[in-house]
Amino acid sequence: MISPSTVVAIDGGQSSIRARLLAGTTTELEREFPPLLTNAPLMPQLERVIRSVLTTKPRQRVHVAAALSGLTPDNADAVGVLRACEDLGVTAVRLAHDSISGYLGCLGGRGGAALAAGTGVVTLATGPAGYSRVDGWGNIMGDAGSGYWIGRAGLDAAMRAHDGRGRRTAILDILRRDFPDVETAYIDIQSNPERISFVASYARAIIDLSDHDEVSARIVGHATDELALSVGASLRNTGWAVEDTPAVSWVGKILSNPKVAIPLKHKLEQAWPSAEIVAPLGGPLDGVAQLAVLPPDHPLHPQLHSASLQGSS
């Protein structure tokens, strides 16, 4: 693929969509948009972001690299996005699940496991046996240990305390600040079109409470158990043994909090004593930008969905 001079990198998550316009290695623009709605068609949402960025900063011969939560082979229409945005100067499109960009942002070309934990969570690993994705199955079927998972568990615990079915917890006090009549909270939350990110927003408070609130501490401890379990599964799935030295890294708002990161690191060191736990090479958008120039021999290249005009790749 010809190295592009202009790249629109888009990280589409359930808390927000972030976009960066790159001219070479220089960031010319960075914007944030409302969350990606995974229960609605993804490609029109992506096209709106591309159009908004390139209307603000028109360019020619633009390569779009986008990593989206909820992307599947059935809904990844790179050709359709290219056609819809060709009038904006877009000549190539590369789409990937956000686990791919998370891995690249963490480890680049190294083998091992990368964990991306925000509103949702997904772990990706590469190793002697290929690659493996673990979790990232959404708030109904998975995302164990994620911001949504923590928030949902906290709201459940709050209502159990309210009913007398569970232990007293300060999470109930936090819920009452937002909903003085907590018995109507579920109606308001269920009718909120951004309910996934709203529920996940409680994770920060629950993590902060974990120092002195027993219920919150149990939820956070369970979350780190789930995250460590996913990392371990991904490493085993890709052929790593406990005595090997894979690299392990992570990104995401949940893991930026030491009350989560430190116990997770401890659990991984116990389970994988030879693994090298490393700081990420960059953030999620840095990983997305790498999609535009990912070489064909990279083990994750087959997972991209690509389209280009003749002569642009």
pLDDT digits (tens, 9 = 90+) for 240-260: 999 999 999 998 889 999 999
Q: Residue 190 has what pLDDT?
A: 94
- Tell me the helix, strand and coil percentages in the chain, rounded to 5: 45, 20, 35
Q: What is the mean pLDDT of the chain?
A: 92
Could you tell me the pTM of the whole model? 0.81
pLDDT, average across residues 192-220: 95
| Residue pair 170/213 in contact by the 8 Å Cβ criterion | yes
The domain spans of the chain are 6-102+283-308, 111-280
3.30.565.10, 3.30.420.40, 3.30.460.80, 3.40.50.620: which CATH number matches 111-280?
Answer: 3.30.420.40
Q: Average of pLDDT values for 215-231?
A: 98
- pLDDT, one tens digit per residue, over 85-94 is 999 999 999 9
pLDDT bin (cut points 50, 70, 90) of residue 310 is: confident
**Where does 6-102+283-308 sit in CATH, by number?**
3.30.420.40
Fold match, 6-102+283-308 / 111-280: yes
Please write the tens of the pLDDT for every residue from 59-78.
Answer: 889 999 999 988 989 999 99
Show Cβ contacts of residue 156 under 8 Å, excluding neighbours closer than 6 positions.
Answer: none
**In this predicted model, which residue has the larger pLDDT, 228 or 102?**
228
Q: Where are the beta strands (DSSP E) in the chain?
A: 6-12, 17-23, 26-33, 62-68, 90-97, 112-117, 121-127, 130-135, 247-251, 276-277, 305-308
Reported as a single tens digit per residue, the pLDDT across 118-147 is 899 999 999 999 899 999 898 899 999 999
pLDDT at 273 over 90: yes
